[in-house]
Amino acid sequence: KQEVTQIPAALSVPEGENLVLNCSFTDSAIYNLQWFRQDPGKGLTSLLLIQSSQREQTSGRLNASLDKSSGRSTLYIAASQPGDSATYLCAVRPGYNTDKLIFGTGTRLQVFP
Amino acid sequence: DAGITQSPRYKITETGRQVTLMCHQTWSHSYMFWYRQDLGHGLRLIYYSAAADITDKGEVPDGYVVSRSKTENFPLTLESATRSQTSVYFCASTGLALTDTQYFGPGTRLTVL
């Protein structure tokens, strides 16, 4: 059974720091992996989607990497800002025809001025 | 406004009552999903729909009913609400393929007393 883990559960950093959020999954046979952002009281916003054949994806200050063999993905945030404060969730899709996204429980990030 | 909307945003009901949560999207996306989000469990898929009149169970379907008579609407009904169904419910949609990025609504916070 695929399980997705995000450690740490919470992280607090000063503005300007570069930081890495971690996502681990137990079964390397995945189709793709997504990173989402969730603001308090809001829905999820997709940040990056990495296909299983890709090693990384970039969008602005965000860079997500994928190492299927080790069951890990990282989300790198450069030059963090207070507006980056949110909960970050990763989700894996186990296969092409599966309806299911398996979510981690998230990392709550606070960036203070 | 275009996008995906949910109503109501907040709902308090009593055990045994029937409750319907609404989801509407303006993109004509084929796929729509219902998730629940609970502390310690992350997001779990309740039901999904590949097109109008096509629905299928997700991970935690018991106690819920869905319908999809029109592409843009995907209501979720709790036939006889229980306290264990207190949760935040998110609707999501995706357009071209099941494996594409999912777009989430803002959520409905449901409390069952």
Report the distance separating Cα B30 and Cα B11, nearest Å. Answer: 28
pLDDT tops 90 at residue A92: yes
Most A CBs within 10 A among B32, B101, B103, B109, hence the mutation to make, goes to B101
3-state secondary structure B40-81: CCEEEEEEEEEECCEEEECCCCCCEEECCCCCCECCEEECCC
Tell me the three state secondary structure of residue A67: strand
Return the pLDDT at B99: 64
Question: Which of A36, A96, A99 faces B45 most closely, judged by CB atoms?
Answer: A99
Report the distance separating Cα A57 and Cα A39, nearest Å. Answer: 22
pLDDT tens profile A29-74: 898 999 999 998 888 999 999 999 999 999 999 999 999 999 999 9
Mean pLDDT by 10 residues, chain B (113 residues): 87 97 93 91 90 91 96 96 97 78 92 97
Which residues on B lie below 8 Å from A99 (Cβ)? 33, 45, 48, 56, 58, 98
The reply to whether residue B102 touches residue A46, judged by beta carbons under 8 angstroms, is yes
Which residues on A lie below 8 Å from B51 (Cβ)? none
> Distances from the Cα of A83 to the Cαs of A40, A65, A79, A113, B105, in angstroms?
12, 22, 11, 10, 21
Return the pLDDT at A62: 97
pLDDT band at residue A99 under the 50/70/90 scheme: low
- Find the Cα–Cα–Cα–Cα dihedral B22, B24, B28, B30, rounded to 10°: -30
